[in-house]
Amino acid sequence: MTIANENRITIAILALGGQGGGVLADWIQEVARAEGWLAQGTSVPGVAQRTGSTVYYVELAKPDGSGRLPVMAQMPMPGDVDVVVASELMETGRALLRGFSTAGRTTLIGSTHRIYAIGEKQAMGDGRGNGEKIIEAAYQRSKRFIGFDMEAATDRSGSVISAIMFGALAGSGGLPFAANTYRAAIEHSGIAVKSNLKGFKEGFDRAQQPVARPDEITHDLPVPTTEQGRALAARIAANLPPPAQANALHGVAKLMDWQDGAYAALYLDRLETVASLDAAPFELTAETARHLALWMGYEDTIRVADLKTRASRITRVRGEVKAGDEQILSITEFMHPRLQEVCETLPAGIGRRILASKGLTKLLGRFFTEGRHVETTGLRWFLALRTVAAMRSIRPRSLRYIEEQERIEHWLELVRTEAAKDRELALELVLCQRLIKGYGDTFERGLGNFQRIVAEHARAPRDAAGVRTLRELALADDKSSGLTEALAG
Amino acid sequence: MAERSFKKEVLKLTAGEGEVFTGEGILAVTKGLLQSGVAYVGGYQGSPISHLMDVFADANDLLESLGVHFEASASEATAAAMLAASVNYPLRGAVAWKSVVGTNVASDALSNVSSGGVTGGALVIVGEDYGEGSSIMQERTHAFAMKSQMWLIDPRPNLPSIVDSVEQGFRLSEASNTPVMLQLRVRSCHMTGSFVAKDNVRPPLTVGEAAASPVRDTDRIVLPPANFLHEVEKIEKRWPAGIAYVRDNKLNEWFGPEESPGDSGEGIGLIVQGGLYNNLNRAMELIGLADSYGVSKLPIYCLNVVYPIIPEEVAAFCKGKRAVMILEEGQPEFIEHELNTLIRREELDTRIVGKDMLPRSGEYTADVIRKGLAKFLEAYAPALAPQLEAANPLPAPVAKEIPQRPAGFCTGCPERPIFTAMKLVERELGPTHVSADIGCHLFSILPPFNIGNTTMGYGLGAAGASAFKPKEGEGSKRSIAIMGDGGFWHNGLTSGVGNAVFNKDDTVTMIIDNGYSAATGGQDILSSRAENANRVTKNPITKAVRGVGAKWVRETHRTYDLKGMTSMLREALTTEEKGPKVIVAQSECMLNKQRREKKATSAKLKAGERVVRERFGVDSDTCTGDHSCIRLSGCPSLTIKPNPDPLRQDPVAHVENSCVGCGLCGEVSHAAVLCPSFYRAQIVANPGKFERFKAKVSGAIMARWQAGADKARAARAF
């Protein structure tokens, strides 16, 4: 039994430290007072001020003319909140979690963009929470849900997110106040008035529009532009089951960019041997198309040098760091090539000989102990990197290439052997390629974990679920302690 | 200079008779002090009373014109000791801090001043950091009030009541020669509202005038035989005087009818701590037992003074009532115990209901009170009991998607690289015992660093490591202590460094010097490098450390130099030298630095001057989505985004535009041999002529080269 008070409006603001939740709360109170209402707000910022999530609470009351002051509560009460403003999607979720938003009563204004929490960011794979579920719940548990990407709106208007939220609140009509009173509050504060008014307008307008779900990234299928490309595309269409074709097209395009058409053809040769053992729904082939392409397109010094010096990359960086046309941009890379990587890039014979010789390793190793600041936008380093990139033509003779092809063949052989008996198990083994990523220590750790799982499977064969468990353990922590424990037990 | 400027608020402090003051609860207290003719104020910053300290620090001119002496005390103990000025002289003094931690520190002085008693009004303002948003142990200041016999005021949370309690607090203190504590919960401190101001009052006697004509009364000093006399005086004189003042001036309040409705004399009633009154009223309003103006259908006895309890008021309220519920937050439930004792003494049959129906722990929000009240009514007045709606929690599959969001180091924080270095050195030398301290650096215990074993209190990081004498010979390990500059000056110099020198502790102490007491709002301290017109700053920590005899002292002026940081730490952990190893890691708090530099930069840009901006980025086509970099940094601006590669599924690392270019990302990828995806972008606005020419030429050469490469790639492309 909650009796809503007709003369009172309760507002909860959920924001992260530093987003200006307190400024927003002050603005709202100023608007209310200007409109003849009584206003009170409170919060518990404390240490949460430093990036943690914080709740601000504002209570507005219509005076009854007696001069008495209503007794105001100090915190949003679950089931008794009229308006919720949340600065981020999971904070919108937190408002729902805390029961602040009620179906049939609450106007829920929430941003749909994500600021990932440290727990989500530090995962070795994908630790992100599912925002779609939050948006659904936001609809179910509110009278009206106003959702849009407030960060994008902030960027568009060159403002701050608190101004966007303030505008969205005004635009929502959730409070009985005129838009001009809101604007006056911004003007009265005297701080960043122009940009805040711009942000206010942006938020106000967006609140009139239907909920904008977060953009999903879609990848257009690559369209062949060369004779060779068309031939490979035709081969995919003819030889591979439809569920695997998209990944195969992306794979071919990637590997032609990475090496050449012949290498892409080798990719299809390999893929087809797995496809021939597969049956509907062809998940094994589709995932092999993905992971084989990723493995065959491993990251080496040649690839990195090439990607870093492309014109498209410089343009992308310019956009990302918001460098104006009149501004000069210089880019410095943090590279740390070790003797190991250098030798891997050299023709196998030379590379092996250096690595096998203690004297040479010691002599040459001295040059590769320090990290290097590589200024790609300077001519000297640009030309050096282009030279490394040009080594693509001799890549098939490099030590790394030979080692990787051996590993790939070994893996595919295992997948094919298992696929003949148990396709599910084969699929799990394919997915284990996900463990192999990164550079330097990270690469070695991932490859090591992959090899340990494969070795364990060879020693004491596991079923699909068993392999999946080991893979998940390998991704659980970067000391691989869970995997080590499981393998020991 | 503090994080927030309070110049606007300082203006409010000049409000005169009849003017309406609108602002936060804690600022209302500052105005209340000036209206009461306070002669001196001291305190130590910390949520939720930092604003009180910051406002007074910014109000120097006003305070001087009124003849009020203000000190930003070195610690809560220092602040409490200031109250000595009210022992012999009719000087009103107020001190403030975060409680219960601050009261812990202050308790020696508080015991002494309480024992001897005071002549002038002595007010101890405590911000009770309890419940949601609190960063400290959940204890009650109430216990201190009881053990030292200081009266404890817990006013109703509205600005007129709070201001009134400041004024009454001084009078109560003077009437009973007893220090008075004014307790404000976090939400009450940050609560906004209005009250009608009075003129500020000059203290009738200033501290300078008192010092010029000293008065001595050795009976006020805690030493036999006076200490025994004090105890008797407390019981026989000050206690009754306190009770009489509270009773005669009606500091406590009564609401609602004398008898509860719907029964014949065997009524029920509620006793509530003043600070919980608003929540109680809201709980009652939502179940139809009160209106929004506090017109209650049940009798309420509101304790604005929670210590001492006034026996005759309790007896009168409980008489004829079958059951009375006491709403008392925190534990132990001192008031409930006392009520039961008083009821027995009066031979009343009233049942006192408290923690048996309300939770033993946690904040008493309106929701918690509503549930407890429903139980109470169900048992003692079923006709009034509400039907509470069944809770409708968010289904678990949705709820589990919502991540925890703990506080963390700010973007570009200079403390982050110190913990990155510790993590890297830990990889080499194995884990060590780490004694943490209080301050922003305590965020190290949270992901992604997970560094730190214990924290024993402010400035006690080094002391917390002192027990760990390394074993002899093979496998010996030194423990590491962390301490902030705030904690260092608070007491760490003596309790930590001095102690370690004296006892030849073989430990490593990392003193993090970011130039401010940063966690509490960026206040200046002794070693701050900022100019401060009213305080003495720029006293280096290394000088103090050497002054107490530390020999192995290293200093870095750029914590972002990860290589230097790790080698310094490695040396400290492995050197043959015995005795304490002290590292002072010094870089300015980024929050404060940015606040200052942002302004300067935008002014330069406006003037068309050359401005260099640096920030970091990640190439998403070379990032493979392992997130090692994030696990070694945790910077808010280093985040993730969906992988643009159609084949890859794990999100890639991404640097947001909020990056301040501190440089840690690059240092980490070098030091930990991570990946080549990080880049530093240097963006020059309003570049010079030669610069533009050079960029143009090399740009043209590169463009030609790139065009050739693009052509070749297109030829072999899909």
Contacts of B714 in chain A (CB under 8 A): 225-226
Is the same domain home to A358 and A455?
no
The pair of three-digit structure tokens given for residue B3, joined into one six-digit string? 């994080």
Distance (Å, rounded) from C-alpha B74 to C-alpha B78? 6
Task: Confirm if B453 and B434 have CB atoms less than 8 A apart.
Answer: yes
Reference A292, options A426, A125, A195; nearest CA is A426
Q: Domain end: A399, A434, A450, which one? A: A399
Closest residue to A331, CB basis, from B281, B624, B681: B681
The fold of the B416-590 domain, in CATH, is Rossmann fold (3.40.50)
Contact check, Cβ <8 Å, B408/A52: yes
The reply to whether A335 and A366 lie within a common domain is: yes
Mutate to test the interface with A, among B401, B632, B680, B694 (most CBs of A within 10 A): B401
**Residue-averaged pLDDT of chain A:** 93
Specify if A100 maps to a domain.
yes
CA B229 to chain CA centroid, Å, is 38
Cα B516 to Cα A47, A104, B440, B527, B589: the distances in Å are: 16, 49, 11, 8, 7
Beta bridge partners of A107: A83, A144
pLDDT tens digits for range B568-599? 999 999 999 999 999 999 999 998 899 889 89
Q: What is the Cα–Cα distance from B645 to B650, expressed in whole angstroms?
A: 10
Q: Is the pLDDT of residue A393 over 50?
A: yes
List phi, psi (to 5°) of B655: -105, 125
Same domain? A251 vs A323: no
- The DSSP string of B160-213 is HHHHHHHHHHHHHHHHHT--EEEEEEHHHHS-EEEEE-------SS-HHHHHHS
Cα angle B190, A91, A39; round to 5: 35
A118 found inside a domain: yes
Cα separation of A165 and A405, whole Å? 54
> Would A358 be classed as within a structural domain?
yes
Q: Which of the residues A27, A31, A47, A372 would you substitute to probe the B interface, choosing the one with the greatest number of B C-beta atoms within 10 Å?
A: A47
User: Nearest residue of A to residue B442 by CA position?
Assistant: A47
Is residue B288 within 8 angstroms of chain A, CB to CB? Answer: yes
Residue B376's contacts (CB-CB under 8 Å, 6 or more residues apart) are B268, B323, B325, B353, B357
Q: Is residue B265 over pLDDT 50? A: no
* pLDDT over 70, % of chain B: 99
| Token duo for residue B452 | 């730190």
Q: Rounded to whole angstroms, how far apart are CA atoms B321 and B269?
A: 7
Assigned domain for A167 exists: yes
Cβ–Cβ gap B639/A126 under 8 Å: no
CA–CA distance from B531 to each of B60, B438, B521, B525, B540 (Å)? 16, 26, 17, 11, 14
From B448, B436, B450, B425, select the one nearest B480 (Cα to Cα).
Answer: B436
Do A137 and A269 sit in the same domain of this protein?
A: no
Of the partner residues A224, A311, A330, the one whose CB lies closest to the CB of residue B718: A224
**Which amino acid is present at A147?**
G
Best mutation target among A321, A332, A338, A430 (most B Cβ atoms within 10 Å) is A321
Helix ranges (H only) for B197-320 are 207-212, 226-233, 239-248, 277-286, 311-318
pLDDT tens digits, one per residue of A298-307:
999 999 999 9
pTM above 0.90, yes or no: yes
Check if the beta carbon of residue A98 is closer than 8 Å to that of residue B132.
no
Has residue A221 been placed in a domain? no
Task: Identify the residue among A42, A80, A308, A393 best suited for mutation to test binding to B, counting B beta carbons within 10 A and taking the highest.
Answer: A42
- Non-local (6+) Cβ contacts of B552 within 8 A are B572, B575, B577, B579, B580, B581, B582
Looking at chain B, which residues constitute the CATH 3.40.50.970 domain(s)?
A: 18-198+214-248, 416-590
Please give the pLDDT value at position A1: 46
Residues A352 and A319 in one domain: yes
Residue A3 is predicted with a pLDDT of 61
A229 CB neighbours in chain B (<8 A) are 717-718
Q: Do A119 and B404 touch (CB under 8 A)?
A: yes
pLDDT average, residue stretch B308-327: 96
In this structure, the answer to whether residues A313 and A426 fall within a common structural domain is no
Whether B673 and A336 lie within 8 Å, measured CB to CB? yes
The CATH code of the domain that includes A87 is 3.40.920.10
Is beta strand B434-436 parallel, antiparallel or unpaired with respect to B351-353? unpaired
Count Cα neighbours of B569 within 13 Å in the Cβ-side half-sphere.
28
C-beta atoms of B129 and A46 within 8 A: yes
Answer whether B404 touches A (CB < 8 Å): yes
Query: What DSSP line would sit under B665-694, residue for residue?
Result: HHHHHHHTT--TTEEEEEEEES--HHHHHH
Interface mutation vs chain A, best among B562, B626, B669, B690, most A CBs within 10 Å:
B626
Residues A131 and A200 in one domain: yes
pLDDT band of residue A425 (cuts 50, 70, 90) is: very high
Q: Rounded to an integer, what distance in angstroms lies between the CA atom of residue B40 and that of residue B207?
A: 7
* Residue A87 and residue A18 share a domain: yes
B 180-239 → A contacts, CB under 8 A = 185-188, 190-193
Q: Are B560 and B587 in contact (CB under 8 A)?
A: yes
Q: Is residue A214 part of a domain?
A: no
Query: How far apart, in whole angstroms, are the C-alpha atoms of residue B232 and residue A133?
Result: 67
Contacts of B401 in chain A (CB under 8 A): 90, 93, 129-131, 133-134
pLDDT bin (cut points 50, 70, 90) of residue A88 is very high
User: Domain residues for A451?
Assistant: 227-300+400-488
Q: Where in chain B is the domain with CATH 3.40.50.920?
A: 253-384
Q: Which residues are bridge partners to A10 per DSSP?
A: A59
- Where is pLDDT greater, at B434 or A372? B434
3-state secondary structure of A38: strand
Both A464 and A337 in one domain: the answer is: no
* B54-83 average pLDDT score: 94
Are A268 and A310 within one domain? no
B 58-77 residues with CB < 8 A to A: none
Residue A286 has pLDDT above 90, yes or no: yes
Predicted confidence (pLDDT) per residue in B439-477, tens digit:
999 999 999 999 999 999 999 999 999 999 999 888 899
Query: Is it the case that residue A265 has pLDDT exceeding 50?
Result: yes
Whether A452 maps to a domain, the answer reads yes
Q: pLDDT tens digit string along B496-545?
A: 999 999 999 999 999 999 998 888 888 899 999 988 888 999 999 999 99
Whole-angstrom distance, CA of residue B60 vs CA of residue B78: 20
- A436-458: pLDDT as tens digits: 998 888 899 999 999 999 999 99
Asked if A312 and A276 sit in the same domain, the reply is no
Q: How far apart are CA A472 and CA A478, in angstroms?
A: 12
Q: Which of A80, A249, A310 sits opposite B706 (nearest CB)?
A: A310
Q: Tell me if residue B594 falls in helix, strand or coil.
A: helix
Q: Which CATH number is associated with domain B253-384?
A: 3.40.50.920
Count of all residues that appear for chain A in the document: 489
What is the rounded distance in angstroms from the CA atom of residue B67 to the CA atom of residue B315?
Answer: 45
- What is the number of domains present in chain A? 3
Contact A52 B685 (CB under 8 A): no
- Domain assignment present for A182: yes
CB contact under 8 A, B285 and A120: no
Q: Find the angle CA(B653)-CA(B659)-CA(B663) to the nearest 5 degrees.
A: 85
On chain B, the residues whose CB falls within 8 A of the CB of A90 are 401-403, 405
**Domain endpoint, select from A175, A206, A237:** A206
Give the SS3 label for residue A85.
strand
Separation in Å, CA of A462 to nearest CA in chain B: 25
Cis, bond preceding B225 (omega within 30 deg of 0):
yes
Q: Is A311 helix (H, G, I), strand (E, B) or coil?
A: helix
A364 burial level (CB within 10 Å; 0-12, 13-18, 19+): middle
**DSSP bridge pairs for B138:** none
**Beta-carbon count within 10 A of B7 CB:** 10
Is any Cβ of chain B less than 8 angstroms from the Cβ of A158?
no
> Looking at the predicted structure, is the pLDDT value of residue B37 above 90?
yes
For chain B, percent of residues with pLDDT exceeding 90: 87
Flag if A320 and B617 touch (Cβ within 8 Å). yes
**Topology annotation, domain B18-198+214-248:** Rossmann fold (3.40.50)
Q: What interhelical angle do A283-296 and A399-419 show, nearest 10?
A: 170
The answer to whether A53 faces chain B, any CB pair under 8 Å, is yes
Q: Token pair of A308, please?
A: 């870093």
Helical (H) or strand (E) element with A255: helix A242-258
pLDDT for B618-635, tens place per residue?
999 999 899 999 999 989
Q: Compute the half-sphere exposure of residue A380: CA atoms within 13 Å on the CB side of its CA.
A: 4
Minimum CA–CA partner of B715 in chain A: A226
Judged against a pLDDT cut of 80, whether residue A215 lies above it is answered with no
Please indicate, yes or no, whether residues A147 and A49 belong to a single structural domain of this protein.
Answer: yes
